[in-house]
Amino acid sequence: MGITAVRGLSAAIGLITLQLSGTAVAGSLVESVNEALATNPEIAIRTSEASARFDEVRQAEAGYLPRVDLSAGIGFEDSKNATTLGNGDGRDHAQRTRREGAITLRQMLFDGLRTKSAIVQQEARQASAMADVCFISEEIALQAANAYINVSRARQQVEVARDNLKKHRAVVEKVRKKAKSGLGSDADLVQAQGRQVLAQANLISLQASVGDAEAGYRRAVGNLPESFDSPRAPASVPTDLDSVLKTATAQHPAMKLALADIDAAEALYESSKSAYFPTFTAELGSTWGKDQDGSKGTVNDTTAMLRMNYNLYNGGADEARKSQTANLMNEAIEIKNRTQRQIEEEVRLAWVAVSFGETRLDSLGEHVRSTERTRDYYNQQFDLGTRTLLDLLDSQNEYFSAQSAYNNGENDLFYNQYRLLRSTGTLLSNLNVRMPNQATHCK
């Protein structure tokens, strides 16, 4: 089986397909990613958090709107005051069934920009939560791709092991015929049969690996598709490291999340300054009362007020709050710096893996071709009696090892290409997958 046959085997077993139209068919890597994104609870958790942050923005915006309060009450009252002392009935107490009601409309006019800062803070927190949805979606997409690749890798290796066992069986039959004709020995037959048993054991071990890979796929994605499509690299793989680093800095969800957290911390710091300003409120109110404060009858009051409130001293809490928020802002900035370093490291590691993986795959392919020619020559020479059985068996084992190494190298390269896209935050857009409704902004 030559390098062309190896590639044909990969196509038969299947790994990845990205159609030119960007749509996926059943059993493709893209469909596996779609399934993972649609069913993984982590995305549902993060999207619920983002929705909650949206409601927090609405709560903060309510600070600009008027507030209307209605109150009412009824109960027993026992009064002793100037009214009851001068009522002329000789009693200094008056007992009544007290009734009251009030309605008040308040409109904030100025609160030291506390409401404005609160809105900015909550909008930044919402942006942070949305970036977190994209972050986990990219991570789950890569996990699904890796699970898909691992199943395909394991199935490919089983097919290579089956072919290896088939070749060993052919050698055993050839040696048996030679032994019967007197041109070979029983020792050669026993040796060939021993290698055949080893090839059988290798096949069993690799079949177990398929089960392990499929279990990993079910955990990451769900049910296995009926078939796996042919292998193919991502539709677009970056070719320039500098541009990849720039893309990662601009597009990676972790960086967007860190920047949004800085904005939230800055807004919180600005909000802490509002404590140093007075607040102004316009107020309209109307009250109604009956049989209150010892008097008999109904009382109505209507007011229109401009109120100011200015805290002069509260034990230094305002200054401590301002210092605290300044430290939180510095923390957010340093977290962003740390995130940028981590992203750059992730990009460089993935870049090295892809660059050297491509070069290594060429060498592995040449090794497959070389070991195949060697095995074919040794087979011919063994038939002519110029090569020993041990030489023939060793050449077959070397060819099997070369095929296995090539398949691993090819699948490693596929994974690292998707990993490189993940490191830039562009895996979802490259795959053109179907995002959940709450995460459509990630593409």
The domain spans of the chain are 3-66+112-277+316-442
CA atoms within 13 A on the CB side of 88: 0
Do residues 321 and 275 touch, judged by C-beta distance below 8 A? yes
Gap between the Cα atoms of 231 and 76, Å rounded: 85
Mean local confidence (pLDDT), 235-261: 92
20-68 pLDDT per residue, tens? 233 444 478 999 999 999 989 999 899 999 999 999 999 999 999 999 9
For residue 20, the model assigns a pLDDT of: 29
Tell me the average pLDDT across 195-215. Answer: 94
Q: Which residues pair with 308 in a beta bridge?
A: 280
> How confident is the model over 437-443, as a mean pLDDT?
70
CB 237 within 8 A of CB 18: no
| Per-residue tokens: 396 | 């077959």
Question: Residue 232 has what pLDDT?
Answer: 73
For residues 214 and 166, is the Cβ–Cβ distance under 8 A?
no
What was the pLDDT predicted at 1?
A: 43
Per-residue pLDDT, 26: 46
Beta-carbon contacts of residue 181 (< 8 Å; ≥ 6 apart): none
pLDDT of residue 435: 77
Over residues 4-18, the mean pLDDT reads 36
Residue 135 carries which side chain, given as an amino acid letter? Answer: F
pLDDT of residue 441: 76
Q: How far apart are CA 132 and CA 323, in angstroms?
A: 28
Q: Is the pLDDT of residue 182 over 60?
A: yes
Q: Are 108 and 60 in contact (CB under 8 A)?
A: no
Q: Rounded to whole angstroms, how far apart are CA atoms 398 and 421?
A: 35
pLDDT of 12 higher than 90: no
Average pLDDT over the chain reads 87
Q: Does position 187 have pLDDT exceeding 80, yes or no?
A: yes
Q: What is the CATH number of domain 3-66+112-277+316-442?
A: 1.20.1600.10
Comparing 259-263, 309-313, 386-390, the range with the smallest average pLDDT is 386-390
Question: pLDDT at residue 218 above 50?
Answer: yes
> Would you state the pLDDT for residue 86?
59
In the chain, pLDDT over 70 holds for what percent of residues? 89
Amino acid (one-letter) located at 89: D
Please report the beta strands in 219-317, taking only residues with DSSP state E, as ranges in sequence order.
Answer: 279-290, 298-309
Neighbours of 146 (CB within 10 A): 19
Question: Nearest 5°: phi and psi at 101?
Answer: -155, 155
For 105-150, what is each residue's pLDDT tens digit? 999 999 999 999 999 999 999 999 999 999 999 999 999 999 999 9
Q: Looking at residue 67, what is its pLDDT?
A: 95
Helix/strand/coil percent split, the chain, to 5: 70, 10, 20
How confident is the model at residue 68, as a pLDDT?
96
